[in-house]
Amino acid sequence: MDPIIQGFSLLLELDNIILITLGVLIGVMVGALPGLSSPMAIALLTPFTLSLEPIPAIAMMAALYCAGTFGGSITAILINAPGAPPSVATALDGYPMAKRGEAGRALGLATVSSVCGGIISLLVFIVAAPTLAAIALEFRPPEYFALAVFALSMLAAMTGKSSLRNLISGAVGVLLATVGIHLTTGVERFTFDVPELDEGIHFVPVLIGLFAMGELLSQSSTLNKVVEQIQAKTMKLPTWAELKSLRNCILRSSGIGTFIGILPAEGSTVAAIVGYNEAKRFSSKKEEFGTGTPEGIVGPEAANNAAAGGAMVPTLALGIPGSGSTALILAALIMHGFRPGPYLLNETPEFLYAIFGAMLFANLAFLAIGLAGAKFFSLVTLVPKQLLWPAVFTFAVIGAYSSSSSFVDVYVMLIAGLIGFFMNRHGFGAAPLVMGLILGKLVEESFSQSMIIYDNNFLALMESPIVLFFFALTLVNLSTPFWTGFKNRKKQNAAA
Amino acid sequence: MTEQQTTSSPNHSDARAIGLVHPVDLVVSLLILAGVAFLFYETTQFDEVSPLFAQNIQPSMYPQIVLTIIALFALLMPFEHILLTKKGKDIDKERRNPIHPLTLTTMAFLVAVVASAQVLGMLLTMIVICLLMPRLWGMRKLTHILIFATVFPVTVSLVFSKLLSVYFDAGIFGIAL
């Protein structure tokens, strides 16, 4: 019981409550604003949390992550512009419902299903994370290497335009992780005689550049977009009878979301789309989807919030990020001096309960925000982009600079931003690159140790059934895009 | 007015029109391969350590494996559009139109601001961003801009320097709060 009490007591301190509440408010606001995203907010927040104690810092980020997913639904419903990608599916039925004068009801359904999905996934998280961590304690370097390779291969299945480009991004991230002095031999690699690169590439400026500056440049071409705003007087909570009729849909979507969230690299967006499709598949009123049906709102909302909790399972238990946002949380953990993975949970179990408590708090706060603040958060979309993005740029410059009070980091941030813009233009995602950057060190360390164990005989790795299992999954992941392409072609041929 | 969204769905005729090799992807692929070649050459310049010390894994080995994987993926890129089109994905959606002139101007502005940040110091840099960027992006309400460019940087500077103890460089003019 001690770790539970310790974990929760950390959250009962006033300072920590304020920080988590701040995380929730920033998250909802960022989620509500089209263009701004949770990963971007976490990237911008990271340098300022480095001066905080690790647990409140990570708890604040976890709360922001949950809230960012929820915040997107407000604008998806009220202005048909999903503030965050996971809310794309919510807009399909949320906006039509709002348009016919039931905006309050749509917000209520989204809020309650988000809370349910979030809490269900957190219950899975609190059980699964320590269990998985206990299993992972048995892992040796070969198993870790296979797991990390499997996680990287998941990039092929990650949301985005192209599996191949996701894999290239991920590999570039892995390569970036090699910059600096090689720890085993002390040899400089890719430092180009720049002393600042000896320690490797700093996470913070790269993250800020890729997520904030890249998006800023993309936004500069969309300044003239005008959106119609539907006024929501108040949020209307669903009745008990309505909730009862939607119970199965919420539970199903929560399960789907949690499972998808646990898969490395998959995140809330995929969960929301699958949640929506499954809600439609099981519905007796399929034809009503797209016209403002309650199932079309609760399906994706329960799933995308459940994915947030699910994604924390591999992140904390294995040190393998479950999504783009959790990759950033993992980066923050590393910057705070932790080595994420099973040892973290076994040595500091109170950490797990503090994160659980923060995310639970965030989920419960959605009810209060939905009831009292939905109208306000929908108004933040009225802030002109001409003021919003200079503010983001200002924070980006300060964030990059303050991480080590060095202008070199500001230059790195800018270069990363320019590269991020062109990457995005050509279909390369920023999130896979960050995941590669985070996993790069783990892959190299475990690979080197495995080669030492097996005396440079790569095939000897296959002696371990766990390694074989992860390699088999890796092959499945890498072949899936080609397999689905083949399946689609067969379908098209049959249709023709 | 509802948000105007330009949707461009790919079709097989697009893929046929492009042919086997996607010209833009070919250029991107060649750029990646050039980068890989340069970095691979760099790995050959890494210091060698004794096999005993390196435990049979030279510092260049792992980056070379990763670079080889990137090169293999990059070689597939020019042909990927065939598969993507069949899956209904439009890889050219974002890049079909040329880069918006304002985006290019914004890039130049960002570079100029960041390049001058060390000279100006953090507070002046923030003021310059908040003063010039809204104008650059077409905001005409000068009063709003002036209020924003005064209140926002000063507030941010106070909060971060006083509350969070973040050190702000004062630049050559020595302006800081």
CB atoms < 10 A from the CB of A472, how many? 12
Residues contacting residue A138 through CB under 8 Å, at least 6 positions apart: none
In this model, does residue B9 exceed pLDDT 50?
no
Task: Show residues of chain B in contact with A455, CB under 8 Å.
Answer: 56
Are the beta carbons of A80 and A228 closer than 8 angstroms?
yes
pLDDT interval class at A59 (50, 70, 90): confident
Yes or no: say if A258 and A124 are a contact pair by the CB < 8 Å rule.
yes
Q: What is the mean pLDDT of residues A49-72?
A: 85
B163 has a chain A CB within 8 A of its CB? no
**B91 contacts chain A (CB < 8 A):** yes
Q: How far apart are the first and last CA of chain B?
A: 45
Dist CA B34 CA B29 (whole Å): 9
Nearest to B3 among A168, A185, A225 (CB): A225
User: Contact at 8 Å (CB) between A402 and B165?
Assistant: no
Statement: residue B17 has pLDDT above 80:
no
What is the domain range of residue A355? 2-495
Looking at CA atoms only, how far is residue B39 from chain A in angstroms?
8
Q: Return the higher-pLDDT residue of B172 and B41.
A: B41
**Exposure on the CB side of residue B172, measured as CA atoms within 13 A:** 5
* Percentage of residues in chain A having pLDDT higher than 90: 13
Which ranges of A154-186 does DSSP label H, i.e. alpha helix?
163-176
Nearest neighbour of A162 by CB, restricted to B39, B57, B91 = B91
Structure confidence by residue, pLDDT tens digits, A248-304: 999 999 999 998 888 876 678 788 888 898 888 888 888 888 888 999 999 999 998
What per-residue confidence (pLDDT) applies to A228?
60
Q: Is pLDDT above 50 for B94?
A: yes
Least confident segment among A82-96, A159-173, A207-221: A82-96
User: What is the rounded CA–CA span in Å between residue A428 and residue A164?
Assistant: 9
Chain B residues inside the 8 Å CB shell of A447: 62
- In the structure, what pLDDT confidence band is assigned to residue A489 with cuts at 50, 70 and 90? low
> What is A473-486 written as a DSSP string?
HHHHHHHHHHHHHH
CB–CB of A257/A302 below 8 Å?
yes
Candidates A50, A158, A185, A480, partner chain B, best to mutate (most B CBs within 10 A): A185
How is chain B split into domains, by residue range? 12-86, 101-163
The pTM is what? Answer: 0.80
Task: Read off the pLDDT of residues B123-132 as tens digits, 9 standing for 90 and up.
Answer: 999 999 999 9
Chain A partners within 8 Å of B114 (Cβ): 397, 410-411, 413-414
Structural domain count, chain A: 1
H or E, element range at A181:
strand A180-181
Indicate the average pLDDT of chain A. 83
Q: Do B133 and A386 touch (CB under 8 A)?
A: yes
Q: Which residues of chain B make contact with A444, given a CB cutoff of 8 A? A: 62
- Beta-carbon count within 10 A of A258 CB: 29
- Tell me the chain A residues in contact with residue B134 when contact means C-beta distances shorter than 8 Å: 384, 386-387, 390
H helix or E strand, kind and range, residue B117: helix B101-120
- Among B127, B166, B167, B168, pick the best mutation site for testing chain A contact (most A Cβ within 10 A): B166
Work out the number of other CB atoms within 10 angstroms of the CB of residue A365.
23
Q: For A161, which DSSP code?
A: S
Which of the listed ranges A124-133, B35-44, B135-144 does the model predict with the highest average pLDDT?
B35-44
- Per-residue pLDDT of A117-176, as tens digits, reads 999 998 888 888 888 888 888 888 898 889 888 888 887 766 667 888 989 999 999 999
Of A79, A162, A385, the CB nearest to B137: A385
Q: What's the gap between Cα A435 and its chain centre?
A: 11
Crossing angle for the helix pair A294-317 and A268-282, to the nearest 10 degrees = 140
Q: Is A188 helix (H, G, I), strand (E, B) or coil?
A: strand
> Rounded mean pLDDT of A19-29?
87
C-alpha–C-alpha distance, residues A269 and A254, integer Å: 14
Nearest residue of chain A to residue B38 (CA atoms): A190
Phi, then psi, of A312 in degrees rounded to 5? -75, -20
B3 pLDDT band (50/70/90 cuts)? very low
Confidence at residue B151, expressed as pLDDT on a 0 to 100 scale: 93
Question: What distance lies between CA B38 and its chain's CA centroid?
Answer: 20
Quick one: pLDDT band at residue B95, thresholds 50, 70, 90? confident
